[in-house]
Structure 1
Amino acid sequence: MLLLVRTFLFTIVLVAAAAVPARAGEWTQQRHDVAEIEASLGFGGRFKVGVWSPIRVTLTAGQQPINGAIHIASFDSDGVPVEHRWAADEPAAIEAGESKTFVLPVKIGRTNSRVEVILESEADGVVSRSIWNANIAELGQPVLASQQLWLSAGDLDGIDDVLRMQRVQPSEQTQHASITPDQIPDDWRMLEGVDRLLIVSGQADAWTQLSAEQLAALDWWTKLGGKIFLAVGADSPQLLAAGAPLAPFLPGKFVRMEEESETGDLEKFAGKATRLDRPDAPPLTIAVLQDASGIAIVEHGGSSDPTPLISVAPYGFGLIEFVAFDLNAPPIAGWDGRQPLLDKLLIGESQQQQGGAVSLAGRSAAHVGYEDLSGQLRVALDQFQGVHLISFFLIGVIIVGYLLLIGPGDFFLLKRFFPRMEWTWVTFPAFVVLACVVSWGVAYWAKGTEMRMNQVDVLDCDLSSRVVRSTTWAHIYSPQTQRLDIQLHNQAPSQASDWRQILAWQGLPGKSLGGMDSRQSLATVQNPYYLAEADDSVQLENLPIQIWSSRSLFGRSWATLEGDAPKPLTEINNQLLDGVIRNPTDIDLEDVYVFYGRWAWQFQKFPAGGVLSLSGKAGKNSDKVLRKTRVADARDVSELWDRENTDIDRIMEVSLFHESAGGRGYTNLIQRYQGFIDLSEHTQTQRAVLVGKAVEPVTELQIRAAGTDEPLHPQTERWTYVRLIYPVEPE
């Protein structure tokens, strides 16, 4: 009986212990009176690796107040620890017994790593550090760089069903998280991992309470390449009217809500014959826009001034997908065409077709070590002039020669030329030293003695919104072990002002060696380096680099462009263009193409301040230009994409317009990690995109030996591309 009672009590204890949620993380060092700490990564429990995400830290002070600075430490994609140090705009000043939440940007490099929250203070010259450590899986679910992350601000019924029906591999399945408007950060870079923000009806009060910093962050994120899906709802007048928080994101000016009786085009778009204006449902209510921009996919024609029902419009380098009716309310709710409508709005036919080719690209990526186009660029940038890969054959020859030399070679040498075999005590060490000298000489011949750098820059100027951004990829090779301080500076165009820069490490998507999803770590460095703010920019400090190795860096910069928007080009019949374009920058361009719709026009040069005329000029099919199609045996033959090609000009040519070239159907690679660089969709939204190569650099990486003011000047090879976006209006 006593045994049964003990067993019963023990079972109750186990059940009670299981019911108590386990707290994430633990203190590895505590020097402050912190009663409680809570932390979470990303949005709605999800964050993307390899890009900037928010980490929310809530500290509760104990009996003593807390004063100090909060730093976040994580691991980069190589498994090297990196500490994020931000300007002390809001130090951790917490009164005894009170709590305070901090939202900070962090960049996580591996799906199976840890993160540290560091509380640091100084008193009388003594620095005190408290360190709280947790596995990132305890703070949020990692989203792979090959996946998309969508956020929903408001409920959109059926979105999870749409995502479940995607015909893609699990490693490319879109991840979805729900947020409230107040969770939008006040720094746009914390939204970098978000591929799409869906704003649907509801929560008008929450939107109106957003701070100016939060709205500015959302504005910059969209202008720099973000995508907003904006659907109208019952509270739309409060959100979309002039002066409302979401009014700037509308592709036009909100006028009123009105009932729409002609729904045939919408039914045709959804692919359903069932009518929307059924007897048991109310009429469709739409938002009427004035001076609408972009491309109307479905248009309302019930008045003399047509307004879009579904449209896509550019917003800087980003896109606004606008739906002028409520997707959650009747008559759309309850209509059997609603699910096909959501499929087309959110996934699209082209993406569904590409999903069928996923398995081919996924399997074929195994032997090249990457599945994303950014991986091919990374491999190409790691090829340095004057640095040679020592082949296994040469290593084998050296080893065999060494064994022959110290074995039979030493024996026959002593037997023939020396009177006594005891001389081997001299010849054997001499042969060992000789072999070491030869090996060292071969290594120095192959690896060189100079620091080298390969750098690719893409400068984008949207001449309508006057937004300019630059994107930098740089690989630095070092002939010796050292630590570096590196800062990114923009030099051109001179018409841009208020530049801000972010420089950090560059990751490799996938599970291959060195990939962000790999469980293997290549790191041998234990001491961290720093991502630190300086003059509104983020720079690298104390970056370690091993002898005869390289580091991959990635930078983003943004600014505003002075001057006025140019006069729009005119689209005449068949998507041909009429008009002239001017180069408003001080950058000379060569090997120039203008892409619009399905056409591309080629020009040899476009000097600074120069003018090009498109009037009467015949264009070529853009996909044929990008695929380098030629005529052979009376048929078009495209150049096959070589995934092992290291020609950077060719890689960038396709990367900048990947979807126009055919996407993964052409390259067998996805472009998800840094997909914002692809402006293919903009060529379909009344924007003409000019691209050319610049001889002069537009950015500069200032490199110094850590802890010194000594500048380092590596041998640098550059590739610089400039894109200018011009507005287009119909004839």
Structure 2
Amino acid sequence: MRFEAVGCRQAAGERTSPLRIGTWLQAVAVAILGLVLSGCGGSSADRDFGGALTIKLGDEGRVQVGEWNPISIQAAKPPAKAVHPEVIAADPDGLPVRFLLPDFKDGVSRGRFLIGQISSPIRVEFVPSETPDAAPIHTVTLSERNSDLRFLKPDVRLWGIFEPDTGLRSAIDKFVEELRDAKGADASSPVEVRSVSPTQPGDFDGLDALFVGADTLRNLAYGAGQTGDALKSWLARGGQLEVIARGAPADYDAPAVKDWFPIQVDAQSAPIRFRDLVILSQGVNRGLLRTPREGTPGVRMTASTGRVLATSLDGDLLMRAPYGQGSVTMLAINSDEPPLRDWDGLPALLAGQVDYDVKRETARQRTNLNPTGISDLQTQVLRTTNQFPEVSRPSYWSSLGLIVVAFLVIGPVDYFLVHHLLRRPHWTWFTLTAWVALLTFVGVSYANRTSGTVPLANQVEIVDIDETLHRVHARSWFTLYSPESQRVDITVDPDKTWPVRDIRDREVRWSGRPEAGFRGMHRPGGLSSGEAGYTLREGSDGASMIEAFPLRAGSTCDIESSWSGTLDEAQVAGELEGDLKSRFQGQFKVNLPGPLTDWFIAYGRFAYHAPLERRAFGIMTLKPGTCVDIKDLQAKMLGDYLTGVISTSQFRKNRVDSDYVFTRETYDPTGIEPYDIFKMISFYRAAGGKNFVTLTNGPVMGLDRSGVVSNGHAVLFGRLEIPASQLTVKDASPKLTAETFVRVVLPVRQIETDFSFPAPPK
């Protein structure tokens, strides 16, 4: 059998060591054994595949740690019998995790997998489908040494570009090269570019932004294999779609695009010509963009909700509109034609469409000394879920004290006992054995008492309710604690108290810390054949589950889950209107399954919360059916509200004038209060990012809703008593403690502020 892996090669500089006599004898024995076996029917691998295998991992060999990565396996000749591949990759603890891929169809098998440690090898086994418990007929191990595998950290941004789009690809690649040059040759780039296929819905997994032309967007929307639905689902969950105006007018009028695209393009009238493009040069810090005398052709754009990023006397040049919890940004002129094509600032302009600040992102990539061991918000989330007050672990000083007591007992105490009290020094052989047995019994009993007797579980989750699209998406983090070693099956389902239907995208997986320390995803790892692994399997209903997960006595494990669905009824209904500046008015009614506490609304640059003096009116806790008027709320700058800015006035010595003093809270990266953590996760950029939080938001970057409130929608954030996800652990019923946070995206009708003077009185 011949095997070909993409980029598979011998490492440069490696030499074959000379074989010794013993090695020659072993080689001859293996050859004879191979001839005997081949005479009995030949190699099963050759018989089943009959040719070469091509394995494609990630995107051109780039695999992101902690995120789903695609894998494609192609056989030159379809196997004679049903065979399915199984991908085995390490989780953050180093345990081998098995991902089952479908059987070969037309010689191809596609799927996805997770990897939890940097530089960990990936093993692919080919197993007969009729006897899945049998030994694999062929095994391939891929690593950085024998292939072009390259591992990306979770905080690396992935930008997708449609495969034939060479113009956009060259511009974005140029921007990425400039980032690498600015950081140094040995530094990793904070941005990677991935090619996207219109026929594979899974290509959108893990993408932060997608750049397409208007003509390409039509092909994506009409793509086979539910690609159009996958594109809209990815966008509604927080994706950023960047569209370049080009192609025929029919591309904008296509029903597959027009029915959902939030920006309306006038495809009936003649194209307009922009004669002033200088505004696109602002903030790019490149050469001035000059406009030809005859102007540059473009399209006319309008949006009922959103904001204009760049405009001219001829029309809007750059516009952004929300779609669910994501955003769509459109450039009114073609970037593949002059003058944009020849402009040095085009790469930076395209990067700016996804709110990418080079200075901010480069600063967050710097590695600083971190004495707390916590550098990311997800690490802080998992630190919160790992708190079990029922399990009272002894401190280090207590353990050290017990060791000192043991030494004193088997040393001076035993000596005094046998020499001075019993006066039988030779009895020390019996007393020492008794002391050791007694101390062992006491230690085991104390450990069992402090380890607890019942399994425990902590759950924190964030539920996104999108009233603009009537969708709901939940993401949960679980930490399981077991007083005994056992293997369990784990599933997560939506709670029945929530009115959700058409449940999809249900998955459960391990969760890891983006750190270089213990249980961290940034530390190099490997696959251990002796470790007890488990399987991530996709059920018949499309929901994934964990099979045979090993729970160790007195230890914890971290699990993460997510699911999406459609709401049967509105959870928050109302009529709101605003202008993204200072006006925000209207009413809304809450119909959530339970009361909402510690809530506030973010819209534009302001946060609206219930004033303390209205605590008696029942507005601090929103019970189902409560109606709230925006005019009854207190407004505060969103950044000041998130960072706890307080202004106090102090009289001067003359007792007439006063000075105002502003103080700001300090965020505690070691804190374990879930409300503070998820408030920062939800509005990370609005709070100042790493400048205030002092932590990155790599794996939870997609949960930042700062862009939603600045693009025309309002977000209601609060704490809910009823969880949206239900954890099921087979053969174990852990005692569950849950914290649920809700973010409701509310549509806001955009109004124009009238700055004209009133008419003079008659």
TM range (shorter): 0.7 to 0.9
Native 8 Å contact 1:240 1:247 kept in 2: no
Choose from 261, 283, 292 the match for 2:274: 261
Q: Which residue of 2 aligns with 1:726?
A: 746
CA distance in 1, matches of 2:379, 2:493: 25
SS of residue paired to 1:554: strand
Aligned to 1:709: none
Aligned partner of 1:675 in structure 2 is: 701
Partners of 2:464 and 2:743 within 8 A in 1: yes
For 2:640 and 2:440, the matched residues in 1 are separated by: 55
> What's 1:242 paired with?
254
Matched, 1:147 2:151: no
**SS state of the match for residue 591, structure 1?**
strand
> 1:483–1:545: 8 Å Cα contact kept in structure 2?
yes
In the alignment, what sits opposite 1:664? 690
Amino acid at match of 2:112: P
**How does 1:274-423 map onto structure 2 within 5 Å?**
274=288, 276-279=290-293, 283-299=295-311, 301-302=313-314, 308-335=316-343, 337-338=345-346, 341-342=349-350, 344-345=352-353, 348=356, 351-355=357-361, 357-358=363-364, 362-364=367-369, 366-423=370-427
The structure in which a higher percent of residues are strand is: 1
Aligned mate of 2:432, from 420, 425, 428? 428
Match of 2:9 among 1, 11, 22: 22
Q: Per the alignment, do residues 23 and 176 of structure 1 end up closer, same or farther by CA in structure 2, a change over 3 Å counting? A: same
**1:118 equivalenced with 2:122 (yes/no):** no
Match of 1:515 among 509, 514, 520: 520
Equivalent residue number for residue 628 of structure 2:
612
Q: What corresponds to 1:15 in structure 2?
A: none
Q: Cα 1:68–1:161, aligned 2, differ >3 Å: closer, same or farther?
A: closer
Q: 1:432-443 residue pairs with structure 2 within 5 A?
A: 432-443=436-447
Displacement after TM superposition at 1:554 (Å): 0.7
* Offset, 1:270: 5.3
Equivalence for 2:653: none
Offset, 1:385: 1.4
Tell me the alpha carbon deviations over residues 344-380 of structure 1, each in whole angstroms, 9 at most, x when there is no partner.
33554xx234246436x7314x322232211111122
- Quote the Cα distance in structure 1 between the aligned partners of 2:157 and 2:8: 30
Instruction: Quote the offset at 1:422 in angstroms.
Output: 2.1
- Cα deviation for residue 242 of structure 1 reads 2.1
Q: Is the 8 A contact 1:147 1:672 kept in 2?
A: yes
Query: What is residue 136 of structure 2 aligned with on the other side?
Result: 129
Which residue of 58, 83, 94 maps to 1:79? 94
Matched, 1:699 2:725: yes
Could you say if the C-alpha distance between residues 566 and 589 of structure 1 is closer, same or farther in structure 2, counting changes exceeding 3 Å? closer
What per-residue deviation string (whole Å, max 9, x for no partner) do you get for residues 592-638 of structure 1? 11111121112311122321110364301222221122235632211
Instruction: Give me the TM-score of the superposition, normalised by structure 1.
Output: 0.86
Residue 607 of structure 2 corresponds to: 600
Partner letter of residue 328 of structure 2?
Answer: I
Does residue 715 (structure 1) correspond to residue 735 (structure 2)? The answer is yes
1:178 is displaced (CA, Å) by: 4.7
Q: Deviations over 1:644-690 (max 9, x none)?
A: 22222221221121111111111111112121111111010111100
Displacement of 1:702 after TM fit?
A: 0.8
Distance 1:524 1:33, change over 3 A: closer
1:113 corresponds to which letter in structure 2?
S
**C-alpha deviation, 1:421, in angstroms:** 1.6
Percent identity reads: 21
1:6 is matched with none
Residues 338 and 226 of structure 1: CA distance in aligned 2, closer, same or farther (over 3 Å): closer
SS of residue in 2 equivalent to 1:434: helix
Give distance in 1, aligned partners of 2:384 and 2:187. Answer: 25
Match of 2:538 among 530, 533, 536: 533
**How far did residue 529 of structure 1 move?**
0.8
- Match of 1:661, SS state, is coil
- Structure 2 equivalent of residue 51 of structure 1: 67
Which residue does the alignment assign to 1:107? 114
State the Cα RMSD in Å.
3.1
Mapped contact 2:156–2:190 kept (Cα < 8 A): yes
Aligned to 2:229: 216
Structure 1 residue 419: deviation in Å? 3.4
Deviation, 1:159, is 2.1
Q: Distance in 2 between matches of 1:675 and 1:237?
A: 36
Question: 2:158–2:192: 8 Å Cα contact kept in structure 1?
Answer: yes
The AA in structure 2 aligned to 1:546 is R
Cα separation, 2, equivalents of 1:333 and 1:483: 59
What is the alpha-carbon distance in structure 1 between the residues aligned to residue 132 and residue 574 of structure 2?
Answer: 61
Alignment of 1:552-591 (within 5 A): 552-563=558-569, 566=573, 568-571=575-578, 574-591=581-598
Q: Is there any run of 5+ residues in structure 1 with no aligned partner, and where?
A: 1-19, 95-99, 706-711
The separation in 2 between residues aligned to 1:377 and 1:628, in whole angstroms, is 21
Question: Which secondary structure state, in structure 2, belongs to the residue aligned with residue 92 of structure 1?
Answer: coil
Contact 1:461 1:725 in 2 (8 A): yes
Q: CA-to-partner distance for each residue in 1:495-527, whole Å, 9 max, x for gaps?
A: 321223111000211322221120257989623
CA distance in 1, matches of 2:188, 2:692: 18
Matched residue count: 680
Deviations 1:86-130 (A, max 9, x none): 6x5xx3256xxxxx2222021122221222333322559984632
CA–CA distance in structure 1, aligned partners of residues 490 and 743 of structure 2:
26
Residues 574 and 180 from structure 1, CA distance in 2 versus in 1: closer, same or farther, beyond 3 angstroms?
Answer: closer
Secondary structure of the structure 2 residue equivalent to 1:394: helix
1:641 aligns with 2:667: yes
Shift of 1:148: 1.0
Measure how far apart 1:563 and its partner are: 4.3
**CA shift in 2, pair 1:171/1:671, >3 Å:** farther
- Counterpart AA for 2:692: Y
Q: Give the Cα–Cα distance (whole angstroms) in 2 for the partners of residues 512 and 569 of structure 1.
A: 47
Could you tell me how far 1:151 is from its partner in structure 2?
1.8
Change (3 A) 1:273 1:726: same
Please tell me the residue identity of whatever aligns with 1:578: Q
> What TM-score do the two structures reach when normalised by structure 2?
0.82
Deviates more, 1:148-157 or 1:52-61: 148-157
Deviation of 1:221 after TM superposition, in Å, equals 1.5
| 1:252 match | 264
Kept in 2, the 8 Å contact 1:42–1:54? The answer is yes
Q: 1:463 to 1:644 in 2, by over 3 A?
A: same
Tell me the distance in 1 between the aligned counterparts of 2:234 and 2:533: 29
2 CA distance for matches of 1:692 and 1:227? 25
